[in-house]
């Protein structure tokens, strides 16, 4: 690399990022889009005190599934929490809110709710959690059945249905929670 005019020999020179480096950086940042960092995008104010332990209203699982399924094809948007675009926890929070229930806006907050459910006992409306970018729960979806769930994945760009038994998701499954 040629030296800049007026630079001393042995002085490190600034480098520019090549296009492949920029593309790789964008890929890494977008793959972490649904990781729970504790950040709460507007318009979801962070409540004071302890995280919510109750969702406030009983919600029937099949009603949740019906609502979640109505958003298939909605684009993924990092921090999104409405039908113009959802991230994973935003989809869950929005669907529950449509049924009068309040859940935290982050994956970690949602993972702290309800009670654990064995994989073989997953029912419609249960939340299913995955480790996609870091150890522990970093992605969430809503169970449709014991084998299918609906979620907002960053990688495919739209709300869609997947199988828990697929190679990718079964390896990353960390648990299920029932919010009743």
Phi, psi of 29 (to 5 degrees): -65, -40
Is 139 one of the annotated active-site residues of the chain? yes
Is 34 one of the annotated active-site residues of the chain? no
> Which residue in 34, 60, 88, 99 is the catalytic one?
88
**3-state DSSP call for residue 111?**
helix
Phi, psi of 151 (to 5 degrees): -160, 175
Alpha carbon 5 to its chain centroid, in Å, reads 49
Contact 161, 144 (CB under 8 A): yes
Contact 11, 84 (CB under 8 A): no
Neighbour count for residue 78 (Cβ, 10 Å): 15
Helices (H) and strands (E) in the chain, counts: 5, 8
Phi, psi of 75 (to 5 degrees): -65, 150
Q: From CA 139, how far away is CA 111, in angstroms rounded?
A: 10
Annotated active-site positions, please? 88, 139, 151
């Amino acid at each position: 690399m040629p030296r800049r005019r007026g630079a001393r020999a042995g002085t490190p020179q600034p480098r520019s990022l090549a296009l492949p480096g920029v593309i790789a950086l964008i890929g890494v940042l977008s793959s972490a889009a649904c990781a729970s960092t504790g950040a709460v995008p507007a318009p979801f104010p962070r409540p004071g005190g302890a995280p919510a332990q109750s969702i406030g209203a009983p919600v029937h699982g099949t009603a949740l599934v019906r609502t979640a399924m109505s958003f298939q094809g909605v684009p993924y948007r990092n921090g999104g929490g409405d039908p113009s675009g959802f991230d994973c926890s935003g989809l869950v929070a929005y669907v529950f809110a449509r049924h009068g229930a309040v859940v935290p806006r982050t994956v970690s907050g949602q993972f702290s709710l309800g009670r654990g459910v064995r994989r073989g006992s997953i029912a419609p409306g249960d939340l299913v959690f995955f480790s996609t970018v870091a150890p522990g729960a970093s992605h969430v979806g809503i169970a449709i059945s014991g084998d299918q769930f609906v979620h907002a994945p960053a990688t495919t760009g739209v709300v869609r249905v997947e199988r828990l038994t697929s190679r990718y998701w079964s390896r990353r499954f960390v648990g299920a929670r029932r919010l009743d």
